[in-house]
């Protein structure tokens, strides 16, 4: 299991061997940088809306690695070989989900610091934002994995995956970004609850998707 996780991480981490890159992160920072140019530099406006923009940017950054997440290994038969060795698809998918989260979320949290500086977010909002992202990103990773597994065998699956992730991510976005509007920690708790629900379901859903590709 640890061997599996190590390989999954090596695939997905920035600078990793299979084209895992810093691109999602740069994309995230670029959005934070462009936003003040687009809406104007008034500090109140930026402080009020900046958190929401960071959330949207985080969501979009989570979409970028999806095409590398499952498709290549499905095609080359890695999951078949693992299944033959008694490694259930659920275990392989759990490992992939953890690796996916580790590869994008911690860096995203770090990048949220300069991003919030660019948007002039006050300190207490920054704390709420970071806590919210911490609660919400596991859910984004889980949804991303499920959708990547579902679309892995389709032509143009990557673009479709992005479109499918967005509606499913809305509950996390509402509560995660909503926690910035009102100083109320219960919204973060809600985001975390939804997030962990997705985390609990995702390995099973993704594993079923992979098996159904074989049955087709």
Contacts with other proteins, residue ranges (CB under 8 A): 3-4, 7, 11, 17-19, 72, 75-78, 80-85, 87, 214-216
Interhelix angle 43-63/23-39, rounded to 10 degrees, is 150
Distance CA 158, CA 162 (A): 7
83/165 with CB nearer other proteins: 83
3/44 with CB nearer other proteins: 3
**Least distance in angstroms from the C-beta of 18 to other proteins:** 6
Cα–Cα–Cα angle for 149, 152, 155, nearest 5°?
150
Distance CA 34, CA 11 (A): 30
4/13 with CB nearer other proteins: 4
**Closest to 146 (Cα-Cα) out of 216, 77, 62:** 62
**Least distance in angstroms from the C-beta of 80 to other proteins:** 5
User: 214: which residues sit within 8 A by CB, 6+ positions away?
Assistant: 80
11/97 with CB nearer other proteins: 11
**Least distance in angstroms from the C-beta of 23 to other proteins:** 17
Name the residue with tokens 């580790």: 102
**Least distance in angstroms from the C-beta of 2 to other proteins:** 9
């Amino acid at each position: 299991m640890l061997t599996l996780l190590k390989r999954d991480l090596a695939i997905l981490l920035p600078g990793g061997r299979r084209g895992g890159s810093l691109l999602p992160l740069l994309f995230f920072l670029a959005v934070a940088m462009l936003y003040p140019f687009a809406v104007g530099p008034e500090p109140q406006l930026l402080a009020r809306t900046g958190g929401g923009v960071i959330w949207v940017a985080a969501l979009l950054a989570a979409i970028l690695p999806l095409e590398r997440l499952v498709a290549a290994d499905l095609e080359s038969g890695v999951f078949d070989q693992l299944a033959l060795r008694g490694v259930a698809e659920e275990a392989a998918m759990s490992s992939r989900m953890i690796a996916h989260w580790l590869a994008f979320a911690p860096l995203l949290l770090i990048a949220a610091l300069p991003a919030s500086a660019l948007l002039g977010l006050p300190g207490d909002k920054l704390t709420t934002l970071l806590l919210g992202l911490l609660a919400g990103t596991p859910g984004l990773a889980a949804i991303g994995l499920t959708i990547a597994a579902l679309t892995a065998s389709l032509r143009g699956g990557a673009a479709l995956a992005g479109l499918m992730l967005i509606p499913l991510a809305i509950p996390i976005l509402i509560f995660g970004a909503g926690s910035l509007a009102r100083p109320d920690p219960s919204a973060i708790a809600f985001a975390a609850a939804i997030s962990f629900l997705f985390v609990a379901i995702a390995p099973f859903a993704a594993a079923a998707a992979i098996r159904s590709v074989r049955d087709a």
